[in-house]
A and B are shown apart, each in its own frame.
Chain A
Amino acid sequence: QVQLVQSGAEVKKAGASVKVSCKASGYTFTSYGISWVRQAPGQGLEWMGWISAYNGNTIYAQKLQGRVTMTTDTSTTTAYMEVRSLRSDDTAVYYCARGTTVHHWFDPWGQGTLVTVSS
């Protein structure tokens, strides 16, 4: 079955970087892309961007441009999302989700990775 398994929880200091992984299985990795969506504690969902696993093309949310980088490793069918210059308001659960193109819906989702930013 199609599955996305994410890396474990992280605690980082403000100003540091964090890199979250998303291991895909059960489908042809390079035929789809991966979106990243985050959810601050008790808040709603925020789309962060999308990457094509076929050619590495990326589209980032305007708000996060310059602070986020998404990559993929086709040899291990893993997607990565890095956020730099972390701030307290980056504290959130980060989800990866499969999407054929950037306009495609998110299905399925990973289990989520809690990133806590402390000052």
Chain B
Amino acid sequence: QSVLTQPPSASGTPGQRVTISCSGSSSNIGNNYVYWYQQLPGTAPKLLIYRNNQRPSGVPDRFSGSKSGTSASLAISGLRSEDEADYYCAAWDDILSGWVFGGGTKVTVL
């Protein structure tokens, strides 16, 4: 059972907006930054969002992150077929003194 809670799946048609939630607690999301990673099929994860809402260079602005209290969300606007992947949220946990991840959300483009 993952410390951070994500829905197992999400889907949308090309061009739609999809939102993925990530729920935690005061010891992780509530007190630390949230990060999002994209894992395309058969590949290693890749950093998508850092420090709640910052995009690394090269990540399209269709991807955006936000955080409020002990929850965070990732939004994908203008959904494209190449966005089909697993998405993971992560945060440092002050009680566990380690990184914790969500269970991952599989995004399907219909």
A residues near B (Cβ < 8 Å) are 35, 37, 44-47, 49, 59, 61-62, 95, 103, 105-112
Q: Is the Cβ of B92 less than 8 Å from the Cβ of A103?
A: yes
Hey, which chain B residues are within 8 Å of A47, CB to CB?
Answer: 98-101
Main secondary structure of the interface of B (DSSP, over half): strand
Residues of B within 8 A of A (CB): 2, 32, 35, 37, 44-47, 50-51, 56, 88, 90, 92, 96-104
Expressed in whole angstroms, the Cα–Cα distance for A101 and B77 within the complex equals 32
Are B44 and A109 in contact, CB atoms less than 8 angstroms apart?
yes
Q: Do residues B96 and A106 form an inter-chain contact, with CB atoms below 8 A? A: no
A45-B90, A103-B92 as given contacts; A35 in contact with B44, CB under 8 Å? no
Closest 5 CB pairs of A and B: A47-B99, A107-B47, A109-B44, A45-B101, A44-B103
